[in-house]
Structure 1
Amino acid sequence: MVEEKLLPWALAGVTLGEEVLEIGPGFGATTKVLAGTVPRLTAVEVDPASAALLDRELGDRATIVTGDATDLQFPDESFDAVVCFTMLHHVPSPAAQDRLFAEACRVLRPGGTFAGSDSRYSHRFRLLHLGDTMVVVDPDALPDRLRRAGFTDPTVSSAGGSYRFRARKTGLS
């Protein structure tokens, strides 16, 4: 599903480049696919146990870092692309989501792309997240939030219960 549907749809028309950062890989379904398609992949995961498991599974195919995406420990302009898939709703507040967007912009090189996907709100989705953090990002509000974080040309499109987004960082180093 991830390799055949999610990533091709979420990344259609997106050039990732050489150095890619994935935010919030969780158990690594997308990370395992990305690791085979990009030259250098770094993934930052907030949960130490998940990060350790991914590190063991992926070995030298990716660099796995335990960390908080709202306070990334990478230098400015470190990556050609930043991606995240089905994880934004796990960020505990809109303010924290906005810090994540700002950090993604900060670590992205000029001309780079921030892209990903997540789920739209539904009662079924809510039931899947009982007892779990679920702060769904409104896809209609996302372009303005990405602009405030420093991105240009944000686009959001929906299909079924999901949406994908992409935005660029402009400017010179």
Structure 2
Amino acid sequence: MPMNAVHRRICRSDGWATRMHSQVLPWATREVPLAGKVLELGPGYGITTRWLAGHGGDLTAVEVDPALASDLRAQFPDVDVHEGDGAALPFADETFDAVVCFTMLHHVPSPEHQDRLFAEAARVLRPGGVFAGSDSVLSLRFRLIHIGDTMVPVNPGTMPDRLRRNGFHDATTQEGGRSFRFSATR
């Protein structure tokens, strides 16, 4: 989904990578099994993919932007990268042990499209599989970074109910600073 030049620069920066690798990703995946078949939705520039690839699972990624998907294939030859929409996944039912997405849900163009993404995550997860990740909490800083972007913030307070309506149980969210994490089981 469209991102302005400032936002693109931030998402490719060493500072962002350091924050994601040292804080957000360990926190968001604390209780998520990453050793099996893992699907990452919306990896963007690959900062999260790099971290996931180092955690031992069989990693697949789906990126909606064709140029970014191509770049991901070049960066990560051991990751099965697909160009596509997380709300219409090209995988059979019950394929993955975990589905994850990090700081990308607010770029999904509508709450309805987000709900279709949640339903697709549930569909491709094996029973007992976990859907987890993180996104940003709405703030003035967040709004300013996203001027001209596709930006549909996710309310962490309503997300557990949305996940339950789309095929999950044990759905939780937890806020921490500028982010929130979520987890739900199929």
TM-score, structure 2 as length reference? 0.89
Q: Which ranges in structure 2 are unaligned for 5 or more consecutive residues?
A: 1-18
Q: Secondary structure at the match of 1:59?
A: coil
* Percent identity (aligned): 60
> CA deviation digits over 1:26-62, x for unaligned, max 9?
00100011011133100000000000001001112x1
State how far apart, in whole Å, the 2-side matches of 1:10 and 1:38 are: 17
Contact 2:42-2:101 at 8 Å conserved across structures = yes
| TM score, norm. by length of structure 1 | 0.95
Structure 1 window deviating more from structure 2 (3-12 vs 77-86): it is 3-12
Tell me the equivalent position of 1:4.
22
AA of the residue aligned to 1:64: V
Q: Distance in 2 between matches of 1:36 and 1:16?
A: 10
- Mapping for residues 49-128 of structure 1, pairs under 5 Å: 49-60=67-78, 62-128=79-145
Q: Which moved more, 1:14-23 or 1:127-136?
A: 14-23
| SS of match in other structure, 1:96 | helix
Work out whether residues 34 and 55 of structure 2, in 8 Å CA contact, stay in contact via their aligned partners in 1.
no
Q: Residues 122-160 of structure 1, C-alpha deviation per residue, up to 9 Å, x if partnerless?
A: 111000000000100000000000000010000100011
CA distance in structure 2 between the aligned counterparts of 1:126 and 1:42, rounded to whole angstroms = 31
- For the residues of structure 2 that align with 1:107 and 1:17, how far apart are their CA atoms? 17
Give me the whole-angstrom Cα distance separating, in 1, the residues matched to 2:183 and 2:98: 10
Report how many aligned residue pairs link the two structures.
168
Task: Give ranges in structure 1 of 5+ residues lacking alignment.
Answer: none
* Structure 1 position 18, deviation (Å): 1.0
Query: Moved runs in structure 1, 4+ residues, more than 6 A?
Result: none
Instruction: Please tell me whether the aligned partners of residues 34 and 57 of structure 2 are also in contact (alpha carbons under 8 angstroms).
Output: no
